[in-house]
Amino acid sequence: MAEERKRRSSRKSGVDLEMLGLEVGNKPPQALDVEEAVIGALLIEPNCVDEAMEELTPACFYDEKHRMIFQAMTALVNEHTSIDLLTVTQKLKSQGNLELVGGPVVLARLSQKVGAAAHVEYYIRILKQKCIQRELITASYDILKNAYDETVNVDDLIDISQTRIFAAIQNNVKRDVQEIGSVINQAMADIERLQDSDGLSGVPSGFQALDTITLGWQPSDLIILAARPSMGKTAFVLNIARNAAVDYHMPVAFFSLEMPAIQLAKRMMVSETGLSADKIKGGHRLEQYEWIQLESKLKNLSKAPLYIDDTPGLPVMEFRSKVKRLVKQKGVRLVVVDYLQLMQGPADLRGMREQEVAAISRTLKATAKEMNVPIIALSQLSRNAVQRPGSNGRPQLSDLRESGSIEQDADMVIFIHRMDYQGLSDNPDDAGKTKVIIAKHRNGEIADIDMLFRASEVRFVDMSDTLLSQAESGTFSSGMNDDVPFGPPQAFPGDSPEFGGNTDFM
């Protein structure tokens, strides 16, 4: 009976490690003598208890009897009761497990391992190592079994596989605490490094008014950029990605779940060249001088370290893996996700939308922190803002769709608010005027920033930008790459081509 119970308990996700070991001709990784030494140390040395409880879980013990004993010890600690031979015996008895572990005789024998306490830290590392090995074996067997199952969707298989492997590692790896002195030394070195960085400690957005408040997008931050549909969210983050990659030569990864890469490229080409959106889309023929303009203006953009992934319905764990690879191989400094609600959460949460979005949000924040890069994730807003009585349509944090955890996990929440687009202003002077609202800023101030959205170029500019006055005076140039003047053959050499008014790229 005891053996059968042991066999049942060693199954995880339908895998019997004992049987699996026999199938492959090996025993599952284990160290029974070390398990005995750790339990013995806990029985005789109270100073070992805190370290063991912090580092170990019942799953770290392969033998079912040892696992029962450790569970009894954990229960005693939670009850603020000291651990010794008598208390553990009584707890096992109350749980009905005393006879299953072999009775008081077994506990007495374990307590006689006098020398174990001196090496308990080393023994704990061994048990954690064996536990990770067993969990990886279990996860691998599950992956192998699902891979042979023709009914399992390939996308689900990839998602499940990544989740299982990540969980096996993450659950057993903990960071040590750091002394304040060493942290201060790191902070001093960072401050010294930033002295020559124009006051920016993060990745520049390219918008002076925004960078003044944020000091750039900070490493490990999750930034949520939210707005109602067609407000220009994608245009805004494309501007940010372009500025970081082209102007500051910082590698940027752009995950587009909504639009194919070629459409994103065409949007950027409109902003970069100043040509009509209709001509870039192919609706009108390009003149010869415009082809020359197109090729010249795109030189810097085509060489920029900007990486686009347009996988639709990207599973969040696949996203995590891709970000890790891009950071390690390409040195990516900024990650953009367009947009959060189109990602797929863990397979076991499908159908529970709020929990799925919460899991996606947590994973984005964990990825930003682990890889030490800022992640900008776009998000949709509910209709509450425009339907709120007596409101000017100004969005609030409670308008974030589908999960309150988005607001909770984010280090910064930014809204794009355009009254003219929502029909809330009849003043023609308000056309394109935009409020970029920093509604949450964990490490800085909140503020409203005035910007202008130039629909014909699919880009935002600072209100104080000299480009605005140039446009009003009729001498506007793209500002992206203005070293070469272009115009039709009969035009004056300094003239710039007229911009189209098409706004389909929003």
pLDDT at 163: 72
Is the CB of residue 124 less than 8 Å from the CB of residue 52?
yes
Q: How far, in Å, CA of 41 to CA of 420, rounded? A: 72
333 pLDDT tier (thresholds 50, 70, 90): very high
276: pLDDT strictly greater than 80: no
412: pLDDT strictly greater than 50: yes
Q: Beta strand 222-227 with 412-417: parallel, antiparallel or unpaired?
A: parallel
305: pLDDT strictly greater than 70: yes
479 pLDDT tier (thresholds 50, 70, 90): very low
Is the CB of residue 245 less than 8 Å from the CB of residue 302?
no
Residue of 55, 258, 287, 498 marked active site: 258
Q: How far, in Å, CA of 314 to CA of 118, rounded? A: 50
Which run of H or of E encompasses 451? strand 447-454
The set of residues, in sequence order, having a beta carbon less than 8 Å from that of 179 and lying 6+ positions away, is none
Q: How far, in Å, CA of 447 to CA of 391, rounded? A: 19
Kindly state the average pLDDT of the residues 283-295.
Answer: 71
pTM above 0.75, yes or no: no
489: pLDDT strictly greater than 50: no
Q: How far, in Å, CA of 193 to CA of 188, rounded? A: 9
Q: Looking at per-residue confidence, does 213 or 276 come out higher?
A: 213
**Residue that the structure tokens 């996860």 belong to:** 139
Q: Which CATH number fits domain 197-472: 3.30.470.20, 3.40.50.300, 3.30.479.10, 3.90.550.10?
A: 3.40.50.300
**Residue 58 identity (one-letter amino acid):** P
245: pLDDT strictly greater than 80: yes
396 pLDDT tier (thresholds 50, 70, 90): confident
Q: How far, in Å, CA of 10 to CA of 131, rounded? A: 12
Tell which CATH architecture fits domain 2-170: Orthogonal Bundle (1.10)
Q: In the chain, where does the domain assigned CATH 1.10.860.10 lie?
A: 2-170
pLDDT at 402: 63
| Known catalytic residue at 55 | no
CA angle 496, 502, 506 (to 5 degrees): 115
Q: In the chain, where does the domain assigned CATH 3.40.50.300 lie?
A: 197-472
Pick the closest to residue 371 from 222, 173, 211 (CA basis). Answer: 222
Q: How many CB atoms lie within 10 A of CB 333?
A: 22
Kindly give the residue spans of alpha helices, DSSP state H, lying in 149-222.
154-170, 180-193, 208-214
The set of residues, in sequence order, having a beta carbon less than 8 Å from that of 111 and lying 6+ positions away, is 40, 43, 44, 85
Calculate the CA dihedral of residues 272, 429, 464, 458 and round it to 10 degrees: -20
CA angle 47, 49, 50 (to 5 degrees): 90
Q: Looking at per-residue confidence, does 375 or 178 come out higher?
A: 375
